[in-house]
Chains A and B, each alone.
Chain A
Amino acid sequence: MNKIPSDMDIAWCPGCGNYSILETFDKAIEQTGIDRKKLALVSGIGQAAKFPHYTKANVFNGLHGRALPAATGLKIANHELSVVITSGDGDMYGEGGNHFLHAIRRNIGVKVFVHDNQVYGLTKGQASPTSDLGFVTKVQTHGVVSVPVNPLAVAIVEDASFVARSFAGDKEHLLAMMVAALENQGGFTLLDILQPCISFNRTNTLKWYKDRVKKIDESHDPYNREAAIAMSLKWGDEIPIGIIYRSRRESFEAKTSMLAKGTLVSQYKGAAV
């Protein structure tokens, strides 16, 4: 019998790093005890942006690069929700790059999980903002000539609340990072997840990442901004994974007096505004 495909049917390549991110995410929700009725997943366009369709939560799947503004509006309207963005390196750091900068400045309390595979997957293999110098694709035939975006360093410079990196090939570490990110009570929370793309990135493979990722030593103080910056600049033979930076800066919601009286949706319940 021919089954009509639905948006809920997983449309990722077999062997994609997204599967372990999805599996680990469900575990992290279970572990943190977050009520899925109070969980909102927001995404833009890309392979990672399909993620919200494949688990149970409130879902808003919007425009390419625009997950952050949509999530900002959602969080302001109902700040009791856990708002998690599932995005990719192209969606968040390319098309949505400007929003990324300004959402961090605002310190809006959303969790941003970036599936960072250093390549465009949905459009089949162009270089992304995090592709390494010299990375060859069918479009960057002579290799990437622009230096990659360093999202972690950018987030630390703009004083984000929580900045961490993990790796889809280490589910235990990923679970710990997701739980820490979900439990972070401050503002803007960034978790950059290194993820192999088995179809379009033959350079940064599972082995490539495995050979390089190194858990951050417990002696690292994430509240030390200068040490965090230095840590975020490490890339190459050794790639640090773990919580790199934390800030005690107030979140946008905490600073906004209107929200002290409760969520806007509860304050305006039934009102035609």
Chain B
Amino acid sequence: MPERILMTGNEAMAEGAIRAGCRYYYGYPITPQNEVPEYMSRRMPEIGGTFIQSESELAAINMVLGSAATGKRAMTSSSSPGVSLKMEGISYIAGQQLPAVIANVQRGGPGLGDIGASQADYFQATKGGGHGDYRLIVLAPASVQEMADLATLAFDLADRYRNPVMILADAQIGQMMEPLVWKDYTPPADLPAKDWALTGAKGRAKNIIRSFFLYPGLLEKHNIALQEKYRLIREREVRFEETNVEDADLVIIAYGSPARVAKGLVKRGLDNAKIGLMRPITLYPFPDKRIRELALAGKDFLVVELSAGQMVEDVRLAVEGASKVGFYGRLGGAMVTIDEMAQKAKDMLKSRRASK
């Protein structure tokens, strides 16, 4: 039996990144993700990597930009207020088509907020919190094991598409401890060569990395190429997990911490009602085709989030009125409860029966 290791989510994410070959980590202190820089500061010198505690979040994201431009696997992490500060750099990294990984261990907002778990940065992560038409690939871990696995996957996706990848976790997933199993990692053989990297132009034509295209028409061409890349990402990289969905009348859609509570409800059962769980693992690309299929198959949805309702907008776009979409959310660092979720589900099932 493989060895099971007890770790916090934040540490698992840091180690997952290191196992994926990340050797450049830059960050600034902020709760609830301080375990990431702590872990990186200890491990990086052991494996010949670099850890820098920067003077600000802006410095950290631009250090990532610099390392990524040389073709190296680089990462930063923060929590909501700090991620807002990184947005300028993230837009540039996306515009420059650099592979990089940014983790947001979300806390309550807006503003300084608190340090409880939140998912109120969904819009910022999936719709582009910085300026311009760009997209991040957004991964949503729901366990300590996934913090590790998705950190590793994040670097592969970043390299494959030359695109920044965000790991959108929350305080609960970052802080909690769970056993995990380390898997052997080798980079996929079909990853494209980094012939664009700034490695010194000796013996080759120069490489230019930029997001600045002043000559008329060039910027539009660049944007069209970006959009084509995002289309490919939407076609190929959708990931989700389903529990008891095929048979369900009502499907709960949740990611991260609330998905764990929802799974608990689905496993516990609800007065013999048929309920299931669909858990998006990629928030961008969003599993909208699958949700549309389920809607056309007659299933209703209860979207559960630690926000006032952000992902629910994407669910409604996918469903396009084909079935009912309900919402249950808690705000400002508060956690959803299984009983409140059960009540919402009961209400929806009741109105479903009444309308049939």
Residue of A nearest to B51 (CB): A139
Q: A45-B112, A123-B34, A140-B41 are in contact. Are A64 and B81 (CB under 8 A)?
A: yes
A94 and B31 form a contact (CB under 8 A): no
Residue from the list A64, A120, A141 in contact with B41, Cβ < 8 A: A141
Residue of B nearest to A94 (CB): B55
**Cβ of A176 < 8 Å from any Cβ of B?**
no
Residues of B contacting A138 in the complex (Cβ-Cβ under 8 angstroms) = 38, 41
Residue from the list A45, A63, A124, A129 in contact with B34, Cβ < 8 A: A124
Residues of B contacting A122 in the complex (Cβ-Cβ under 8 angstroms) = 31
A94 and B34 form a contact (CB under 8 A): no
A139 and B56 form a contact (CB under 8 A): no
- Cα(A257)–Cα(B257), bound, Å: 57
Residue from the list A126, A127, A142 in contact with B45, Cβ < 8 A: A142
B41 and A139 form a contact (CB under 8 A): yes
**Cβ of A186 < 8 Å from any Cβ of B?**
no
B31 and A123 form a contact (CB under 8 A): yes
Residues of A contacting B45 in the complex (Cβ-Cβ under 8 angstroms) = 141-142
**Cβ of B70 < 8 Å from any Cβ of A?**
no
Residues of B contacting A124 in the complex (Cβ-Cβ under 8 angstroms) = 31, 34
- Cα(A123)–Cα(B20), bound, Å: 28
Residue of B nearest to A149 (CB): B55
Query: A interface, how many residues as a size bin?
Result: 20 to 34
Residues of A contacting B111 in the complex (Cβ-Cβ under 8 angstroms) = 63
Contact mask for chain A residues 50-81; partner B; CB cutoff 8 A; 1 contact, 0 none: 00000000000001110000000000000000
Residues of A contacting B112 in the complex (Cβ-Cβ under 8 angstroms) = 45, 63-64
Chain A's nearest CB lies how many Å from the CB of B25?
A: 11
**Cβ of B174 < 8 Å from any Cβ of A?**
no
**Cβ of B53 < 8 Å from any Cβ of A?**
yes
**Cβ of A95 < 8 Å from any Cβ of B?**
yes
B42 and A141 form a contact (CB under 8 A): yes
Contact mask for chain A residues 108-132; partner B; CB cutoff 8 A; 1 contact, 0 none: 0000000000001011101101000
- Cα(A127)–Cα(B112), bound, Å: 22
A126 and B53 form a contact (CB under 8 A): yes
A139 and B30 form a contact (CB under 8 A): no
Residue of B nearest to A126 (CB): B29
Residues of B contacting A64 in the complex (Cβ-Cβ under 8 angstroms) = 81, 112
Query: B interface, how many residues as a size bin?
Result: 10 to 19
Residues of A contacting B41 in the complex (Cβ-Cβ under 8 angstroms) = 138-141
Residue of A nearest to B28 (CB): A95
Residue of B nearest to A90 (CB): B29
Residues of B contacting A123 in the complex (Cβ-Cβ under 8 angstroms) = 29-31, 34
**Cβ of B141 < 8 Å from any Cβ of A?**
no
B53 and A139 form a contact (CB under 8 A): yes
A140 and B42 form a contact (CB under 8 A): no
Chain B's nearest CB lies how many Å from the CB of A97?
A: 6
- Cα(A76)–Cα(B34), bound, Å: 37
Contact mask for chain B residues 35-79; partner A; CB cutoff 8 A; 1 contact, 0 none: 001100110010000000101100000000000000000000000
Residue of B nearest to A120 (CB): B29
B37 and A139 form a contact (CB under 8 A): yes
- Cα(A138)–Cα(B36), bound, Å: 11
- Cα(A65)–Cα(B56), bound, Å: 9
Residue from the list A45, A97, A140, A142 in contact with B53, Cβ < 8 A: A140
- Cα(A122)–Cα(B29), bound, Å: 9
- Taking CB atoms and an 8 Å cut-off, the chain B residues in 9-44 that contact chain A are 28-31, 34, 37-38, 41-42
A129 and B55 form a contact (CB under 8 A): yes
- Cα(A88)–Cα(B37), bound, Å: 21
A94 and B38 form a contact (CB under 8 A): no
Chain A's nearest CB lies how many Å from the CB of B46?
A: 10
Chain A's nearest CB lies how many Å from the CB of B286?
A: 32
Chain B's nearest CB lies how many Å from the CB of A157?
A: 19
Residue from the list B31, B34, B53 in contact with A127, Cβ < 8 A: B53
Contact mask for chain A residues 242-253; partner B; CB cutoff 8 A; 1 contact, 0 none: 000000000000
Residue of A nearest to B43 (CB): A141
A97 and B55 form a contact (CB under 8 A): yes
Residue of A nearest to B81 (CB): A64
Residues of B contacting A65 in the complex (Cβ-Cβ under 8 angstroms) = 56
- Cα(A202)–Cα(B56), bound, Å: 25
Residues of B contacting A94 in the complex (Cβ-Cβ under 8 angstroms) = 55-56
- Cα(A124)–Cα(B42), bound, Å: 16
Q: Interface of B with A (CB < 8 Å)? A: 28-31, 34, 37-38, 41-42, 45, 53, 55-56, 81, 111-112
Can you offer 26 A-B residue contacts whose CB atoms are under 8 A? A63-B111, A64-B81, A64-B112, A65-B56, A94-B56, A95-B28, A95-B55, A95-B56, A97-B55, A97-B56, A122-B31, A123-B29, A123-B30, A123-B31, A124-B31, A124-B34, A126-B34, A126-B37, A129-B55, A138-B38, A139-B29, A139-B38, A139-B53, A140-B41, A141-B41, A141-B45
Contacts A63-B81, A95-B55 supplied; 18 other A-B pairs, CB < 8 Å: A63-B112, A94-B55, A94-B56, A95-B28, A123-B31, A123-B34, A124-B31, A126-B34, A129-B55, A138-B38, A138-B41, A139-B29, A139-B34, A139-B37, A139-B41, A140-B53, A141-B42, A142-B45
